[in-house]
A and B are shown apart, each in its own frame.
Chain A
């Protein structure tokens, strides 16, 4: 059945889509693990492949630094399909009472102390141990092995972690003393694949020479042979196990540098906000306390009342979140308060303070100068300054401001930002003209690229997207038109082919049979036998000849219908053979914009014209026949006019008399809802056919503007070719 074939064709596209989708899902699920090969480019400041989860990360002297005491800050890279590999790096702790190390086989990461699934190996200076364990949104410590000669902050260690199968082993080498410590663990239901990462806990850290390479069991054995392999975390997860395994050192926490040469700890210090009211004339130093909210390009400290900039006497290893006691001379300017000639005392380390959420208008009042704030704004522009800083121009309401990121993973941020994006920025609010350049009322100094979040991308209806969308629409329309005409062409070809086949069949069967009948009848009529009654045989002979001519006309009509020919041309092709053996002058003309009708309708028109012309030649003895096509908006008119002898239309021979012509013409006209009129007089006959053109075909092109119609016709011709 025909509908089944249509369903099949309609089904092919969704089937293909389905198969492709299944293929991609299977490919996603069973894709081959990639080989782990990685070497950092921290020396050239490229860190875009790393993704941060907490902390304040930046490139620092060929290494990457987490300049924050946040617990469990992570930086992750690599493929989730990496399986057996070695990761090694040089690691340095930036503070006390914390740890820093490497993560292997990490997945499912998010912000949070142990918010990832994987294995961590770290150097912990709180109890001078090297630890290894399993993290799965919780921490299970498998082993904590004391490190000989202790673990010292600001000292490089070379850490190497190997993960093969369900065994994880690691070693830490002190390059100076050449002391090496090893840990190892095995887990039954282990994580077999995952990314690599850097992590610190309560103390910032520095990592450099980070490398990852495939590993095999032999690599693992080199470490496992030197240590015990922990197969259970149970002992360290109970109070008895924890306190019996780890050495007791009492409680010794900050102030962290109580033995330093800094000023004595001063408990009663003025709030930082009050420094704005210190007179410039007063040159005596003041002592204040605050936590570090920014270290570069200027050190800023804040407390609950305000913040100040601090001029460092020399390079000091302070981190964001450190609590400082600062003694210095106040330099109160309209652009903010600055402490000069300072001496520092690091009181203790702590995690970075959360920012205050304020509006741009509130920040512009100066009330939050030197404090860590969070502001939303729409990005107007971005630029690099001397390759070291990124400057963002932003707008929030009626307030314009700038955000400046100094030297911290700019490449990652700069490429990601698009104008008109809505950003949420965390940074230190400053009114210092050195940063605002007096162009805006304040500027935000960002600590790292993680201080910038994209709340919403730019609206999609910008000029570029509209232009692109317009082009895409035009291309789609052209494709649709192309497909439409191709489909129409295929359909017409199929019809033409079928008609050719039918013509062939008629030629080989019907026409041949008539020829045979005519031959037999002629031989019977003119043959030697005299018992043949001549009148009925002559009648049969005439009818057979008539039928043969009809058959040939049908064949001619069927073979003439081709999609690449206009109706006028097809008329010429069909009608010319009819006058080939006579002296009749035939003229064919077309008026109006030619339009294509359905193949069936065109076939009927041809047959009517054929019949009319044949009648004019055979019965009217015409010397001149004119065929005129008139294309109008909703109809097609065809006039076949001859100058022969007319006839009485009302008394024209009917079907019963063995004549098919006029009846056949009327039936053909009726089959396509056309109106056929025959008028005849002494000086000639006129056959008028008015065929309605379906409005659907007209509207397709009428809907389009005039210029498209001008180019449409050549386009259709081209497509038809």
Chain B
């Protein structure tokens, strides 16, 4: 009975004087090696003598136990089927083994790793004091605008409370661990973030501290983009002096010893009043709170104790909102002038309706914008200034609709200016 043997690999052909001798690896019968001979010079399939590992798919038709019939004229060639072509490719690829295998696996895992790993090399973390406030969302807008210009992605998150220092440290630490391209942080405490920022610098992560400073000298990857608190205090004092015509009693509310910003502002107010409006006295200086209700209570207490008070200068948003509520509760908004530091959209409504005289707005949009630009410049190897102080703007009913002011107040972080 005819016995069919599928020979999948023909190897080691060499031409002799009157024959061609080839080795066969017969994979259909357990990969045995045998030798076949041909006394014919012409074969039915092309064999190049120098090609020692040529792959062919053919049939050997032989009679059982008749080895002598192993002659090439008994071979019949047939057309290669599509799957066999793929098999040919596989064989070809397999011959590149093991280097090809290692390379293929390395590439595969690199692809998978890159797909799963956050693109931290093109991401800058921006960690403000808190989020979802108009004050900080303007900085978000600035950061996103600069990010789209420079090709960096912005990671934006912060604690839900501005006094949650632990959470802010944790977020900064996360940015350091992820080895982001840069770090922008608005510290809520003068000292608590020193260690984290130093750690970022030690890992060569360009860092920009915005709004209020830290006790770390700039340089070696660290730069500051701050609000000019002296100017904030001077603007507030000048506004009070103008409103009170150079004479009256003023209270300052919202001092926070852990934030140099508020100390600087309070001092600048006193210095400017003493210098330009000596007949205006600061009769009360009180600390604030992160809670509006608590500040309202403090303000009501001050207003009750000092009925002749002419104006109150508040040093942060919460203090402004609490004092505004106290004035509204006591129905003396028109008599006692309120000048606030730091902006929120609610406060602007108060300005428009005359319940708040003015707010000294910080250019947080520009802080975010310049911070990302500074990091991009550092990445390019360009020098960046150690410290930039941005001038605040006094927002009153008169100038609130000006483009410059409206731009500072915009919180449209998805549609950059």
Contacts and interface: CB of A to CB of B under 8 A. Distances in A.
Q: Indicate whether A and B interact.
A: yes
Interface of A: 1-2, 4-5, 7-8, 10-11, 14, 18, 21-22, 25, 54, 70-73, 110-115, 134, 136-140, 201, 233-234, 237-240, 242-243, 246, 248, 250-256, 265, 267, 323, 347-351, 354, 493-494, 497-498, 501, 504-505, 508-509
B397 to A, nearest CB: 12
Interface in B69-103: 91, 94-95, 97-98, 101
B27 A5 contact: yes
Contact of A254 (B105, B293, B301): B293
Nearest to B326: A251
A1 B53 contact: yes
Contact of A110 (B29, B31, B157, B325): B157
A237 B297 contact: no
B196 interface: no
Contact of A238 (B12, B355, B406): B406
B292 A239 contact: no
Contacts of A14: 101, 105
Nearest to B414: A140
B230 interface: no
A10 B131 contact: no
A113 B322 contact: no
A250 B95 contact: no
29 contacts: A1-B12, A5-B9, A11-B97, A14-B105, A21-B112, A22-B108, A71-B132, A111-B167, A112-B159, A113-B158, A237-B411, A238-B406, A248-B349, A248-B352, A250-B353, A253-B292, A253-B296, A253-B321, A255-B293, A323-B291, A347-B294, A348-B293, A351-B160, A351-B161, A354-B161, A354-B167, A497-B30, A508-B65, A508-B67
A112 B127 CA distance: 11
Given A234-B412, A242-B345, A251-B324, A5 B31 contact: yes
Contact of B400 (A2, A139, A239, A254): A239
B94 A7 contact: yes
Contacts of B95: 4, 7
B97 A251 contact: no
Contacts of B414: 134, 136, 138, 140, 233
Contact of A253 (B140, B322, B348): B322
Given A134-B414, A237-B411, 11 more contacts: A22-B108, A71-B160, A73-B160, A115-B157, A138-B413, A140-B414, A251-B355, A252-B325, A253-B296, A348-B294, A350-B290
B132 A137 contact: no
A373 to B, nearest CB: 13
A113 B348 contact: no
A238 B346 contact: no
A500 to B, nearest CB: 11
Contacts of A250: 328, 350, 353, 355
A515 to B, nearest CB: 16
Nearest to B102: A14
Contact of B105 (A2, A18, A238, A494): A18
A111 B166 CA distance: 13
Q: Interface range on chain B: under 10, 10 to 19, 20 to 34, or 35 or more?
A: 35 or more
B261 interface: no
B339 to A, nearest CB: 15
Nearest to B140: A138
B1 interface: no
A136 B415 CA distance: 13
A113 B140 CA distance: 14
Contact of B131 (A114, A246, A256): A114
Nearest to B290: A350
B32 interface: yes
Contacts of A504: 65
B164 interface: yes
Given A5-B25, A251-B346, A54 B410 contact: no
A144 to B, nearest CB: 12
B160 A509 contact: no
B296 A138 contact: no
B191 interface: no
B409 interface: yes
User: Top 8 closest A-B pairs, CB basis?
Assistant: A348-B293, A254-B293, A237-B412, A113-B132, A239-B409, A251-B324, A112-B157, A251-B325
Given A112-B158, A239-B348, A251-B321, A4 B400 contact: no
Contacts of B65: 504, 508
B33 interface: yes
Contacts of A234: 412, 415
A25 B160 contact: no
Interface in B378-416: 400-401, 406, 409-415
Nearest to A291: B291
A70 B160 contact: yes
B108 to A, nearest CB: 6
A488 to B, nearest CB: 15
A255 to B, nearest CB: 6
Contacts of B292: 253-254, 348
Contacts of A110: 157
Contact of B32 (A251, A256, A497): A497
A533 to B, nearest CB: 33
B328 A252 contact: yes
A114 B98 CA distance: 50
Given A137-B155, A138-B140, A240-B406, A18 B293 contact: no
B216 interface: no
Contacts of B415: 234, 237
Contacts of B328: 250-252
Contact of B297 (A7, A8, A71, A255): A255
Contact of B67 (A7, A10, A323, A509): A509
B11 interface: yes
A354 B166 contact: yes
A248 B353 contact: yes
Contacts of B297: 255, 265, 267, 347
B270 interface: no
B179 interface: no
B325 to A, nearest CB: 4
Contacts of A233: 412, 414
Given A70-B160, A505-B67, A494 B293 contact: no
A120 to B, nearest CB: 11
Given A18-B108, A242-B345, A137 B293 contact: no
A246 B131 CA distance: 21
A348 B290 CA distance: 12
A11 to B, nearest CB: 5
A238 B412 contact: yes
Most chain B CB inside 10 Å of its own CB: which residue of A70, A237, A239, A323: A239
Contacts of B104: 18
A494 B346 contact: no
A306 to B, nearest CB: 19
A114 B132 contact: yes
B350 A137 contact: no
B53 to A, nearest CB: 6
Contacts of B155: 137
A254 B298 CA distance: 12
A243 B411 CA distance: 13
Nearest to B329: A252
B272 interface: no
B355 A72 contact: no
Contacts of A237: 410-413, 415
Contacts of A239: 345, 348, 400, 406, 409-410
Contacts of A71: 132, 160-161
A14 B106 CA distance: 12
A498 B140 CA distance: 78
A354 B164 contact: yes
B348 A4 contact: no
B72 to A, nearest CB: 19
A99 to B, nearest CB: 11
A2 B400 CA distance: 87
Contacts of B232: none
Most chain A CB inside 10 Å of its own CB: which residue of B68, B328, B349, B353: B349
